[in-house]
Amino acid sequence: MENPEQWGGGGRRVVVIGGGVAGSFIAKSLQFHADVTLIDPKDYFEIPWASLRAMVEPSFAERSVIHHKDYLTNGHLIVSSAINITDTEVLTSEGRLVTYDYLVIATGHNDPSPKNRTEKLKQYQAENEKIKASQSILIIGGGPTGVELAGEIAVDFPEKKVTLVHNGSRLLEFIGPKASNKTLDWLRSKKVDMKLEQTVNLNNISDGSKTFITSAGETIKADCHFVCTGKPLGSAWLEGTVLKESLDSFGRLKVDENMRVKGRKNIFAIGDITDIKEIKQGYFAQKHALVAAKNLKLLMTGGKETKMAIYEPRSVKAIVSLGRQDAVAQFSFTTVIGLVPGFIKSRDLFVGKTRKLMGLDPNVVYS
């Protein structure tokens, strides 16, 4: 593996930056077709939509936090952040220069996380203990993360007082108002105290804070709090690189219909970091990876550019889980809440399905 000549004289060194939903999947898909190197600051891939369940049930993370090495059996892994790129190389924060023939950028969202899997599992254990030890819990942010966390806690710990503060006039603003209203009613039915159009000043709170004043002057007392206000895009590191002109005003990489960075022959971008006009979903990130993998295989075997696969943006479709049984779903034809969408997502949160996609046993539990 260390000698690119074995691939028929080079030209097949693929470097993937970012080991999230899109990057891990493309690295896994290409590993027997190219000399693949995955660069990620963590030694594991985490299924993001399982993270809130892991806070109420830490053992859930045993299946959803996966060593990169478990699925990347025929590629190289560099546990580090990319900090710069040139037309031929990637520089990592630890000073390694990695040469590429093809580059795939999949740095999605920035979420400072422990570097190794064991530490990540301990983090879930600690968060779970914090929830268990608290009588009252404040959640700040009413997007999918805040809503799913409120749902998990309200269902698993109905005796706890949960308050959710959201700055917008409705929850889940990334989908339609029908879904927001149904979700609001569901959370209220579980006795979650909802405070819309209010904020909590994050600069004034620390880990030990127990009293919170909202922008409307209300006082909330909570034994612990969780900030679920969304994460920044993982593209700031590209601002000083050869791709700085390829970023749009939101910091997203401009891509063409083949998932290549516009104007670049050998640089692809996939997942949340792209400027594709669709909601940012792991499901779509996987579809981007499939198209990019297909195109990379074609180019590496000397295929014609005109034969490259095209990515068609998808219509809004989302399922937000509400505890272990219910969910709210927006499909193109209708919006529903309750056991039916819950049956699709909420029991296993697509963990077995995602593990299968990564070539792993859906059920395995590490000892």
Q: Judged by CB under 6 A, does residue 151 bind ligand FAD?
A: no
Cα–Cα distance, 40 to 43 (Å, whole number) = 7
Q: Judged by CB under 6 A, does residue 341 bind ligand FAD?
A: no
Q: What's the min distance (Å) between Cβ of 160 and ligand FAD?
A: 20
70's enclosing H/E stretch is helix 68-71
Pick from 14, 16, 17, 150 the residue near ligand FAD by CB under 6 A. 17
Q: Judged by CB under 6 A, does residue 282 bind ligand FAD?
A: yes
Classify each residue of 297-310 as buried b or exposed e, where b means 16 or more C-beta atoms within 10 Å of its C-beta: bbbbeeeeeeebee
Q: What's the min distance (Å) between Cβ of 163 and ligand FAD?
A: 19
Cα–Cα distance, 104 to 37 (Å, whole number) = 10
The DSSP letter of residue 88 is: S
How many Cβ atoms sit within 10 Å of the Cβ of residue 282? 19
How many Cβ atoms sit within 10 Å of the Cβ of residue 292? 30
Q: Judged by CB under 6 A, does residue 144 bind ligand FAD?
A: yes
Q: What's the min distance (Å) between Cβ of 216 and ligand FAD?
A: 27
196 vs 316, which CB is nearer to ligand FAD? 316
Cα–Cα distance, 61 to 126 (Å, whole number) = 13
Q: Judged by CB under 6 A, does residue 56 bind ligand FAD?
A: no
Pairing state between β 136-140 and 161-166? parallel
Pick from 214, 281, 335, 354 the residue near ligand FAD by CB under 6 A. 281
Q: Judged by CB under 6 A, does residue 148 bind ligand FAD?
A: yes
Q: How many binding residues for ligand FAD (CB under 6 A)?
A: 36
Q: Judged by CB under 6 A, does residue 317 bind ligand FAD?
A: no
Structure token digits, residue 70:
């478990």
Candidates 29-37, 215-223, 281-289, 327-335 — which segment interacts with ligand FAD by CB under 6 A?
281-289
Using only C-alpha atoms, the chain has a radius of gyration, in whole angstroms, of: 21
Expressed in percent and rounded to 5, the helix, strand and coil fractions of the chain are: 35, 25, 40
Q: Judged by CB under 6 A, does residue 141 bind ligand FAD?
A: no
What one-character-per-residue DSSP string does 275-337 give?
--SS---HHHHHHHHHHHHHHHHHHHTT--GGG---PPPPPP-EEEEETTTEEEEE-SS-EEE
Cα–Cα distance, 326 to 346 (Å, whole number) = 6
Q: Judged by CB under 6 A, does residue 271 bind ligand FAD?
A: yes
Q: Judged by CB under 6 A, does residue 40 bind ligand FAD?
A: yes
Residues 79-138 close enough to bind ligand FAD by CB under 6 A = 81-82, 106-110
Cα dihedral across residues 211, 213, 217, 221: positive or negative: negative
Q: Judged by CB under 6 A, does residue 13 bind ligand FAD?
A: no
Candidates 60-68, 142-150, 166-174, 308-316 — which segment interacts with ligand FAD by CB under 6 A?
142-150
Q: What's the min distance (Å) between Cβ of 278 and ligand FAD?
A: 10
Q: What's the min distance (Å) between Cβ of 66 and ligand FAD?
A: 12
80 vs 163, which CB is nearer to ligand FAD? 80
Pick from 196, 237, 297, 338 the residue near ligand FAD by CB under 6 A. 237
What one-character-per-residue DSSP string does 182-228 give?
HHHHHHHHTT-EEEES--B-GGG--TT--EEEBTTS-EEE-SEEEE-
Q: What's the min distance (Å) between Cβ of 138 and ligand FAD?
A: 18
**What is the contact surface with ligand FAD in residues (CB under 6 A)?**
17-23, 39-42, 48-49, 51-52, 81-82, 106-110, 144-145, 148, 234, 237, 271-273, 280-283, 285, 319
